Structure 1
Amino acid sequence: MSPTKVSLDFSSDEFLADPWNIYKELRRSDPVHWSSAFNAFLITRFEDVQELLSDRQVGSGFPMRSSRRLFGRTLLDTDGPRHRDLRKLFMPLFAGGSVKRLRTEILVPAVDQVLDSIEAEMGSRDEVDVEFMERVAVGVPYAMVTRLFGLPPEDAAWLRPRVLPLAGAIEFPATSLDSALTAKAELIEYLKDKLAARADGDRMPFLDLVFPPGEPVDESMLGTATLFLLAGTETSVATIGKIMYAVLAHDVELSTLADKDYRTQVVRETLRWEPPSHTILRYATTDLNLHGVDIPRRSALLLSLGSASRDENAFEDPDSWRPDRTDQRLLAFSAGPHTCLGIQLALAEFDTLFERLSHRFGGVRLGGSLDGIRQGFWRLRERGHIFRRPDHLHVRLERKADA
């Protein structure tokens, strides 16, 4: 019997609104799905995705890959010794001890900058309406990354319009590579200016690591620096939006997020239930056969983190959001040699934000008209596939009662 034909269009309204039923059918009937639209095999089962992420017969680097053409040979697009050398270079900044320090020096001030502005807007009122995606989900990662790079926090408003084309160029389907290259060139000139103006005593944690003070700027690493601007912002934008989405959808009291263990469970379960990135691109370095399907060497593989994270053979009741589940395996940060280098910093960012939200505000609920909002909430328009997030999320934050 031939596999059931499944319509797969990452940009369609049907898919953006509810990809989960499509994934489920693919896992059942066509787990190695050939997509002629993307000229790639889509892999949808948890066990297969996890195994291929660690398989040395599957590579990340490919000369014509959009990210390679945009950023050059970075961590994202290299394998073997060069990839290990690059990870070793960055590890001191993203190791556990460093993350603890960065939490105090960078994450807390970044979060407080955003929450201070909301409290100031609230004034003497008991509550304030906030467009959460723009004010918080965008505000916090950009406040964080400017501090991590040692850039003026007020430059965040200039940075984002130049980071977004980079994200678009590696989406499915991709936006203009030419626009992304133009934006990248502007970002590189901006970073070179900041490095040239660096003075003794200036603290630029990321840039100091990549471009040591007193040494000539290694221009081959400027593409890597722009990649980190993207990686440190837009994935976090999506994740923060998804965590608040989950909190609202499941009537979680903001005060309960003051408990660290529960907060950790909420973050991890949301990353499984609604991962911010649904697909990772890899390439077969040799001929493969998976579930009877021949995959020729150099074939593109779309490893579906979104589908794998809802695999009924890996997780009990996978479509339900259950922070208390004992199995909280994560693929949201990839796995194997290309596991996200910034995983500990990202988790600390999400933890810091929702901890401080729970301490500074008394509650959160959906904003806007309440007529039909609960029914419409589950159909929030989302966009993106590599950076999948709600377009908008209007919330109402309540003043915390005096102790």
Structure 2
Amino acid sequence: MTTHETVAARCPVHLGQDDLVDPTLYSDGNAYAVWRELRAIDGVSWRQVDAERGFWSAVRFADADLVLRDHATFTSERGTLLDLLGTDDPAGGTQLAVTDPPRHTEMQGRLKRALTIRAVDKQRDMIRDRIVDLIEPIGDGGAFDFAEAMLAMPMSVTGTMMALPESDWPWLTRINTTCIAPDDPEYRMEGGRGLTLALAHHELFGYFQELVRHRRDNLGDDLISVLITTRFEGRHMSLGEIVSNCYSLLLGANVTTPHSPNFVLAEFGETEVLEDWARHPDVNANAVEEALRWASPVNHFLRYATRDTVLAGTQVAAGDAVVVWLGAANRDDAEFADASTFDIRRKPNKHLAFGAGPHYCIGHSVARVTLRILFEELLTRFEDFRLAGQPERLVSNFVSGYKHVPITARRRTA
């Protein structure tokens, strides 16, 4: 049995773990190499951040899956992001992402029903129209920033489902990306990452407060109206609870949906992968799942042990932080055959890109339908994809993604 004191003394890649906190590892480094070394360690590894704070890293699929599913032993209510390590999240118990069952189960009930695959199927025509509008300029013949279009895609879909004014979508896209990448020079404001986050959250929460106040008097069939009219624990949600969950909905959509297609175009656009995919449309659903596994757009989730427990043969004490690295778990050869190969026909493919357990992404059906339609339209309309410049990664330790992927392509002939 090991503890974090003994692990810290013997860990052969202790310095590598420092890199996992550094957002530039995901823009300029090689996180996969660090994760590969950590997966080879017997047990889970401890990283001491400073005199007060540290965390365990769960990098193998089995360990990550267990931590995410066992909410009784590993709670999300103290916070789910590494940036908040050691500081309890003020939204704990009020926002779905940082609320555990049974409260979480009751709170998400109506919203979950509004996002079932049956409900999302009714939105297919809207989603297709939005996607076609976004990708149509690829056929103009010049360089097209595919990543910029993909960053706009979730807002055009979720923005419609939340009935957000279309004129606000570009600003909302940028402010959401700022919230998840405050270290990125393109999004960081003067004053540094702390001020960037504070201002972005202030603007976004203020925006939703005004919108919810107006929507209460103008209810519709949109997702914000669902939140407003939801009753749990014998009452309606407070303004703060509604606003916090609006933020969570929008953030979730902007994190997961755009980055898997960005990875595909950035890393396989000039290979035979896309043409193979286009010639065999029956693989589309499997290929989308492989794109999600490969990209693993959410880098990590944070949990805290509620009691003394054992994880992978290592003693984890009550109160210890445990960081689940989804990208590491999704490249684990113990779970995925030849995990370092991108295989559009991979099956089964029970990846963790949407998480696992009670906090499995509530918008997964919207994301899957959107991505399947995207690749249907993209590969039916265009061919001969080429990079028109160097792709640029987003600087973030929470999101693994690209912010610029310049491409060219030709329209397919009939």
* TMscore range, shorter length: 0.7 to 0.9
In structure 2, which of residues 153, 165, 169 is the aligned counterpart of residue 152 of structure 1?
Answer: 165
**Aligned mates of 2:88, 2:147 — CA distance in 1:** 26
**Aligned mates of 2:129, 2:325 — CA distance in 1:** 35
Name the residue aligned to 2:78.
62
In structure 1, which of residues 316, 319, 332 is the aligned counterpart of residue 353 of structure 2?
Answer: 332
In structure 1, which of residues 226, 238, 243 is the aligned counterpart of residue 264 of structure 2?
Answer: 243
In structure 1, which of residues 374, 388, 398 is the aligned counterpart of residue 410 of structure 2?
Answer: 398
Name the residue aligned to 2:142.
128
**Aligned mates of 2:217, 2:94 — CA distance in 1:** 31
1:108 aligns with 2:108: no
Letter in 2 for 1:279: H
How far is the alpha carbon of 1:249 from its aligned partner?
5.5
Deviations 1:280-306 (A, max 9, x none): 111101011224422110111001111
Kindly indicate whether the alpha-carbon contact (under 8 Å) linking 1:44 and 1:304 is maintained by their aligned counterparts in 2: yes
The 3-state SS of whatever aligns with 2:404 is coil
Kindly indicate whether the alpha-carbon contact (under 8 Å) linking 2:308 and 2:316 is maintained by their aligned counterparts in 1: yes
**Aligned mates of 1:397, 1:304 — CA distance in 2:** 35
Letter in 2 for 1:2: R
The Cα RMSD (Å) is 3.1
Change in CA separation of 1:85 and 1:144 when aligned onto 2, cut-off 3 Å = same
In the TM superposition, 1:72-111 aligns within 5 A as 73-105=94-126, 107-111=127-131
Name the residue aligned to 2:30.
18
How far is the alpha carbon of 1:72 from its aligned partner?
6.8
The 3-state SS of whatever aligns with 1:353 is helix
Letter in 1 for 2:407: V
Letter in 1 for 2:76: S
Letter in 1 for 2:357: G
Letter in 2 for 1:108: R
Name the residue aligned to 1:346.
367
1:304 aligns with 2:304: no
Answer with 198-207 or 282-291: which moved more.
198-207
Answer with 357-366 or 61-70: which moved more.
61-70
Name the residue aligned to 1:137.
150
Deviations 1:240-272 (A, max 9, x none): 312323441543235833754312222111222
**Aligned mates of 2:218, 2:331 — CA distance in 1:** 48
**Aligned mates of 1:330, 1:252 — CA distance in 2:** 20
**Aligned mates of 2:110, 2:407 — CA distance in 1:** 41
Q: Percent identity?
A: 23
Change in CA separation of 1:36 and 1:395 when aligned onto 2, cut-off 3 Å = same
**Aligned mates of 2:270, 2:196 — CA distance in 1:** 37
1:209 aligns with 2:226: yes
How far is the alpha carbon of 1:18 from its aligned partner?
1.5
Name the residue aligned to 1:2.
10
Change in CA separation of 1:128 and 1:80 when aligned onto 2, cut-off 3 Å = same
TM-score scaled by structure 1?
0.84
Name the residue aligned to 2:200.
183
**Aligned mates of 1:91, 1:52 — CA distance in 2:** 23
How far is the alpha carbon of 1:70 from its aligned partner?
6.0
**Aligned mates of 1:207, 1:14 — CA distance in 2:** 36
Letter in 1 for 2:124: R
**Aligned mates of 1:199, 1:70 — CA distance in 2:** 22
Letter in 2 for 1:132: F
Change in CA separation of 1:253 and 1:77 when aligned onto 2, cut-off 3 Å = closer
Letter in 1 for 2:30: D
Structure 2, unpaired ranges of 5+: 1-8
Change in CA separation of 1:311 and 1:199 when aligned onto 2, cut-off 3 Å = closer
The 3-state SS of whatever aligns with 2:10 is coil
**Aligned mates of 1:316, 1:331 — CA distance in 2:** 15
The 3-state SS of whatever aligns with 1:128 is coil
Change in CA separation of 1:2 and 1:187 when aligned onto 2, cut-off 3 Å = closer
Name the residue aligned to 1:252.
273
Change in CA separation of 1:170 and 1:209 when aligned onto 2, cut-off 3 Å = farther
How far is the alpha carbon of 1:141 from its aligned partner?
1.4
**Aligned mates of 1:360, 1:353 — CA distance in 2:** 11
How far is the alpha carbon of 1:160 from its aligned partner?
2.5
TM-score scaled by structure 2?
0.82
How far is the alpha carbon of 1:189 from its aligned partner?
3.3
**Aligned mates of 1:94, 1:309 — CA distance in 2:** 25
**Aligned mates of 1:142, 1:269 — CA distance in 2:** 23
How far is the alpha carbon of 1:341 from its aligned partner?
0.8
Name the residue aligned to 2:180.
167
